[in-house]
């Protein structure tokens, strides 16, 4: 009985090794595909969110005369909270508008939590990109002259992000950027979730393929 069991295990060794090899190859290909697909999906989410900013805050929000006193605290609270609610619905971390003013690039609007906005209505309004220590300053400046959206990875003094900069023109002809960010930490969580799902699918694939491999090996021996 023991010899038969050992013999059975030896017969299984080859199909198991083949199944494991197939599993490893499948996992490698799946990870590469999932990472590419996830980044593609994230970029599409960012772009869609940025494209809709003007419809929520108005195409006349940015004007050639916009400055740090253009909008009241109440207006900033309302607009910022509105963008934050939209960001949450689209699973984006931040939505914002950037303008070129005073030889600098400034936030004309930024999404934020309502409670935080009430406590401090202007935490980011008119904040300079230089003061934020944003390492994408030069690329951001160049984006104002482009016609197509720009996707990038950037870092400031608070966090690191995957972003899209969408060049826009307001109703009075003033250029600005509609931007959307997802933090790199958020992006990594999404990647991990996808990998776990991929591993689960791969295990199912392995479990289903093993009997087929065993049957093939038995058939091969008979032939």
Tens of pLDDT, residues 177-204? 999 999 988 877 766 666 666 666 666 7
Encode burial over 2-32: b for 16+ CB neighbours within 10 A, e otherwise.
eeeeeeeeeeeeebeebbeebbeebbeebbe
pLDDT exceeds 50 at position 9: no
Q: Which residue has the tokens 């400046």?
A: 141
Tens of pLDDT, residues 142-178? 999 899 999 999 999 989 999 999 999 999 999 999 9
Burial class (CB in 10 A: 0-12, 13-18, 19+), 131: exposed
Q: What is the pLDDT of residue 160?
A: 93
DSSP string, 78-103: HHHHHHHHHHHHTT-SEEEEEEEETT
Give CA–CA dist 133/76, Å, rounded.
23
Q: What is the pLDDT of residue 112?
A: 78
Sign of CA dihedral 85, 94, 80, 149: negative
Tens of pLDDT, residues 97-133? 999 988 899 999 998 766 776 677 666 788 899 999 9
Q: What is the value of pTM for the model shown?
A: 0.74
Label residue 6 by pLDDT band (50, 70, 90): very low
Q: Give the phi and the psi of residue 128 in degrees, each rounded to 5.
A: -80, 140
Give CA–CA dist 94/97, Å, rounded.
10
What domains lie within the chain, and their CATH numbers? 2-35+188-222 (no CATH), 50-183 (3.30.450.20)
Using alpha carbons only, give the angle 86, 90, 92 rounded to the nearest 5 degrees. Answer: 90
């Amino acid at each position: 009985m023991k010899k038969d069991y050992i013999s059975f295990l030896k017969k299984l060794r080859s199909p198991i090794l083949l199944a494991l090899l197939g599993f490893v190859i499948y996992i490698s290909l799946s990870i590469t595909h999932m990472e590419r697909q996830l980044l593609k999906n994230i970029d599409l989410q960012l772009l869609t969110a940025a494209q809709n900013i003007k419809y929520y805050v108005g195409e006349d929000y940015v004007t050639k005369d916009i400055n740090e006193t253009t909008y009241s605290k109440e207006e900033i609270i309302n607009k910022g909270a509105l963008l934050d609610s939209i960001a949450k619905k689209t699973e984006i971390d931040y939505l914002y508008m950037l303008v070129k003013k005073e030889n600098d690039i400034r936030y004309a609007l930024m999404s934020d939590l309502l409670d935080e906005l009430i406590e401090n209505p202007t935490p980011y309004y008119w904040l300079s990109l230089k003061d934020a220590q944003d390492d994408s300053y030069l690329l951001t400046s160049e984006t104002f002259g482009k016609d197509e959206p720009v996707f990038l990875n950037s870092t400031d003094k608070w966090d690191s992000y995957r972003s899209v900069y969408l060049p826009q023109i307001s109703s009075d002809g003033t250029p600005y950027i509609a931007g959307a960010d997802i933090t790199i930490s958020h992006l990594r969580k999404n990647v991990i979730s996808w990998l776990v799902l991929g591993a689960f699918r791969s295990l199912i694939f392995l479990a289903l393929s093993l009997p087929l491999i065993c049957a093939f090996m038995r058939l091969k021996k008979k032939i």
